[in-house]
A and B are shown apart, each in its own frame.
Chain A
């Protein structure tokens, strides 16, 4: 999805339709949602913890991340969001946000009033079910990330993250599974996998030395997908994707 799309919400309608088939009136109602599009620079907050958001956000381009800051100042990144993701569908019903959402790169974001989303979900059960599924898949990814941080070693955690990013990028047409741009610093990767940047650097280098990956600045080439997936204990089941990525076909 990009700003060249004819309607900013087309990809959202398609995404929901890939979860649950939508009737023409339901699709039309999704496209008719009131919204405003903003271009946001990297590092800007989309949602702050304890905010009472009046809107939900749909990522049209770029990358954002959910995170929490703990008492010692440490940041845990809880999710990465990319084009087509509804970043905080859960805030449709929560009184206040329990986490932060911040742009990772420059982003185009569509802001949709939460009341309109709620009305839509209750007017068209197919849309409601698709939105429910979206939040369930978010939950599935959260569970996988908890397992990753809690029960895997550094190499497994990073290999897993590289695989997931690759598969999700390919699914939205922004990269090939084995060749993509990772728009994150080592520090940010560390905040995803619960490691320091020094440890991330060492582990990424180890993956390169083992011939699993090749990196130049932000570009990642996966030289041996099967081995990297094995190293990261990775499979796509928890992503609940409608289609199997090419490298796994």
Chain B
């Protein structure tokens, strides 16, 4: 299985994943969505959520495989 690196980005600031994870390409979107939702959920408990994050998944060659913006990870209803 290829190694994928899940970098957490806040506009210009990158929190690099130095270790990476071995997983199938097909699992990348599901894994990314899970990570984003988990971080949002944990931040919700603290009462402060930064929806400006995204997760960029890159392979060992640095090629972008997938990007997920936090704002696309969850659906808000009843805000209006």
Binds B, one of A8-16, A34-42, A193-201: A193-201
Q: Given contacts A153-B42, A197-B6, is CB(A202)–CB(B15) below 8 Å?
A: yes
- Would you call A187 an interface residue if the criterion is a C-beta within 8 Å of the partner chain's C-beta atoms? yes
Cα A197 to Cα B4 in complex, Å, equals 11
**Which chain B residues (22-56) contact chain A, with CB distance < 8 Å?**
31-32, 34-36, 38-39, 42, 45-46, 55
- Nearest CB in chain A to that of B32: its residue: A198
> What total count of A-B pairs have CB within 8 Å?
41
CB <8 Å contact, A198 and B42: no
Q: Which residues of B contact A198 (CB under 8 A)?
A: 6, 8, 17, 32, 35-36, 38-39, 55
- A20–B32 alpha-carbon span in the complex (Å): 49
Chain A residues within 8 Å of chain B by Cβ, number: 13
A202–B21 CB distance below 8 A: no
Q: Which residue of B lies closest to A155 (CB)?
A: B42
B19 at the interface (CB under 8 A from A): yes
Cβ–Cβ contact A187 & B21, under 8 A: yes
Contacts of A201 in B (CB 8 A): 6, 8, 15, 17, 19
| A147 close to B (CB within 8 Å) | no
- Report yes or no: A185 in contact with B19, Cβ–Cβ below 8 A: yes
User: Which residues of chain B are within 8 angstroms of A195 by Cβ–Cβ distance?
Assistant: 38
Contact A199 to B39, CB < 8 A, known contacts A153-B45, A153-B46: yes
Give, as a whole number of angstroms, the nearest-CB distance from A3 to chain B.
Answer: 29
CB distance from A102 to the nearest CB of B (A): 16
4 nearest A-B residue pairs (beta carbon): A198-B35, A196-B35, A198-B6, A154-B42
B residues with a Cβ closer than 8 A to A are 6, 8, 15, 17, 19, 21, 31-32, 34-36, 38-39, 42, 45-46, 55
Further contacts, 19 of them, CB under 8 A, given A186-B17, A197-B17: A153-B45, A153-B46, A185-B19, A187-B19, A196-B35, A196-B38, A197-B21, A197-B35, A198-B8, A198-B17, A198-B35, A198-B36, A198-B55, A199-B35, A199-B38, A201-B6, A201-B15, A201-B19, A202-B15
- Enumerate 17 A-B pairs (CB-CB under 8 Å) in ascending A order: A187-B21, A195-B38, A196-B35, A196-B38, A197-B21, A197-B35, A198-B6, A198-B8, A198-B35, A198-B38, A198-B39, A198-B55, A199-B38, A201-B8, A201-B19, A202-B39, A205-B15
